[in-house]
Amino acid sequence: MITYSLATIIVLVFVLIVSMFRVLREYERAVVFLLGRFYQVKGPGLIIIIPIIQQMVRVDLRTIVLDVPTQDLITRDNVSVKVNAVVYFRVVDPKMAINNVENYLEATSQLSQTTLRSVLGQHELDELLSARDELNKDLQSILDQHTDNWGIKVANVEIKHVDLDDSMVRALARQAEAERSRRAKVIHATGELEASAKLREAADVLNQAPNAVQLRYMQTLTEISNDRTTTIVFPMPIDLVDKFSNVMASAKKQQDK
């Protein structure tokens, strides 16, 4: 009986000694409590934990990718949209992450959801679609500020999708089509203005050399003529028409006298 009890004691002591040794990976830390009070942060590598007297909580220091669920929100211009995002963060202070918040993963997730709704709800729909970089920086700054007391560093926040209703998609398509039509009209008007300026310069040059008009007539005839053309085009100078009109007006005045 004594031998059996001694063997049991030896086995228990061996188990206790073995359980004292813990191995932590490079990205892990152990928050150690001594009789319920914070003692120190240990790791990585081989550490010793005294059974019963000390307890430890493992903390992962790697970057955690948190997928923020889709949130329904109303923009500042009263448009209902659905937005989801992804948050990249990591624990920089294991002591604060364990002692200051019950569950830092759940707390960061809930904070990300509420911040996403509150921040994006202050902007218009056009800003959500075109100014994502600025919005991502604002979200990252706000989250990092609120999680600082939890020993968490928010590295980046990215808005993934902005889902719109079908009616809003059609409205945006009509708006884009109207915008393209407006640009086309402006470009066409600008081209007409530049063309009129060039025509005016060309008219000034032709006025300085009247014979150049005849050469232009000949060039126009060459361009419109081909082997299959059956129509004969005879250009009549405008000056000739003006002279003919002046002669007719003079003859009419003489008859009146």
257 domain-assigned: no
Q: Looking at the structure, do residues 160 and 93 belong to the same domain, yes or no?
A: yes
Q: What is the pLDDT of residues 59-101, one digit of tens each?
A: 999 999 999 999 988 888 888 899 999 999 999 999 999 999 9
Q: What percent of the chain has pLDDT over 90?
A: 41
Q: Which has more pLDDT, 179 or 223?
A: 179
Nearest CA-CA partner of 38 in 102, 99, 91 = 99
CATH classification of the domain holding 98: 3.30.479.30
Mean pLDDT score, 131-142: 92
Q: What is the pLDDT of residues 27-42, one digit of tens each?
A: 999 999 999 899 999 9
End residue of a domain, out of 164, 194, 213: 164
Residue 219 pLDDT grade (very low, low, confident, very high; cuts 50, 70, 90): confident
233, pLDDT greater than 70: no
Give the alpha-carbon dihedral of 106, 109, 114, 117, to 10 degrees: -160
pLDDT score recorded for residue 149: 93
- Total domains in the fold of the chain: 3
End residue of a domain, out of 59, 82, 99: 59
pLDDT score recorded for residue 77: 84
pLDDT score recorded for residue 39: 93
3-state SS, 89-127, equals EEECCHHHHHHCCCCHHHHHHHHHHHHHHHHHCCCCHHH
- Compute the mean pLDDT over every residue in the chain, rounded to the nearest whole number: 84
Q: Looking at the structure, do residues 101 and 187 belong to the same domain, yes or no?
A: no
